[in-house]
Amino acid sequence: MNASDVFVIGGGIAGLSIAWRAATRGLTVTLADPDPGARATRASAGMLAPVSEVTYTEEPLLRLGLASLERWPAFAGELEAASGIPVDLRGDGTVEVAYDADDLAQLDELAAFEEKLGLRVERLTGRQCRQAEPMLSPNVRGGLLARDDLWVNPRRVAQALQQALQNAGGRIVRERIASLDDLSAGHVVVAAGAWSPSLLPGLPIRPVKGQILRLRGPRGFLSKCVRATVRGSEVYLVPRDDGEIVVGATMEELGFDTRVTAGGVYELLRDAREIVPGITELDLAETFAGLRPGTPDNLPYVGRHGGVWVAAGHHRAGVLLAPLTADAVVAGFFGEADLMPECSPARI
């Protein structure tokens, strides 16, 4: 390998963002991945929804999510300008809806928590939910409108980051790095998601499988991002500008298994149909499964560990936390203040 200031292992959204940010600060950067953007980032729906996405007892993760959400509009704007690739950042609002009385009680608790945090959230009756998003089922009992949540197309983001990195002088090598030995760089960064422990044995990151579907409908079929709890299980429907609807996602602890199963697809479609009955008319364009990198406390590891930098373990929040993670790691290269002290690998 040629020596660089920075050598990043892993071309998911975390590794690509770190590499791009480092290159824009004048560092020479090499990123290695056999197929950048092809694993968890490719599976991801791209919701930037810190409150509804984390268990709301996890306040450190919530704080990080809110801090990274604030960075997203500028990050997306700079990325689009640097790459010429639109990333579909949308903020048309998210409706979180409840299907039965228990789901509604859970949503009420979430609303109370969001209000306590001073977040803008409106409680909606079933009728108001349908006014906000006309495709919702008449059975929806009530919901919340979160106007500040955003979402983005992670596949576009990964493509844009590769382009922007190369435009900034960075190099992408399509290789799998099996060992940290013999890497000569000022800073080596392990950002290999669920595969990070193969480079750093003892790092407590495990794969958490998520099956996800892509439906194709007419443009504007859904105007808002829809999240729901249906008899206790969570489902989300994320619309793209081109008519694609991403429906996700299962949570399965099955090791490195990326099979798409009939049961997984059935459960997603069953729950999504309860909330938006019209989806049964759409094309089933793609099924996919990715591996979230889970950690014991659901916080990522971002910081120095075993002589290298690590940026992995972002579990359900990889896309949301990418701008903050990139700024935190690059700040670390320059000896600046730690932006994610909660995520120090020292807690292992």
* Residue 319 CB, nearest approach to ligand GLY (Å): 7
Q: Does 292 bind ligand GLY (CB under 6 A)?
A: yes
* Residue 317 CB, nearest approach to ligand GLY (Å): 7
Locate 193 and state its tokens: 């998601």
Query: Per CB under 6 A, which of residues 213..272 are in contact with ligand GLY?
Result: 248-249
Residue nearest to ligand GLY as judged by C-beta position: 316
* Residue 53 CB, nearest approach to ligand GLY (Å): 6
Q: Does 332 bind ligand GLY (CB under 6 A)?
A: no
Instruction: Specify the stretch interacting with ligand GLY by CB under 6 A; choose among 45-53, 66-74, 82-90, 189-197.
Output: 45-53
Q: Does 275 bind ligand GLY (CB under 6 A)?
A: no
* Residue 210 CB, nearest approach to ligand GLY (Å): 5
Burial (CB count <10 Å: 0-12, 13-18, 19+), residue 127: exposed
What's the distance, Cα to Cα, between the start and end of the chain in Å? 30
Q: Does 39 bind ligand GLY (CB under 6 A)?
A: no
Neighbour-count burial for 82-102, b at 16+ CB within 10 Å, e otherwise: bbebebbbbeebbbbbbbeee
* Residue 84 CB, nearest approach to ligand GLY (Å): 27
- Look-up: residue for tokens 């903020």? 91
Beta bridge partners of 48: 150
Q: Does 210 bind ligand GLY (CB under 6 A)?
A: yes
Q: Which of 316, 324, 333, 343 binds ligand GLY (CB under 6 A)?
A: 316
Return the number of other C-beta atoms located less than 10 Å from residue 166's C-beta: 16
Q: Does 53 bind ligand GLY (CB under 6 A)?
A: yes
Distance of CA 265 to the CA centre of its chain: 20
Please give the torsion angle defined by the CA atoms of residues 48, 53, 55 and 58, in that order, rounded to the nearest 10 degrees.
-10
Q: Does 146 bind ligand GLY (CB under 6 A)?
A: no
* Residue 49 CB, nearest approach to ligand GLY (Å): 8
Size of the site for ligand GLY (CB under 6 A): 8
Of 101, 97, 110, 105, residue with least CA distance to 54: 110
What Rg, from alpha-carbon coordinates, does the chain have?
20
Site residues, ligand GLY (CB under 6 A): 45, 47, 53, 210, 248-249, 292, 316
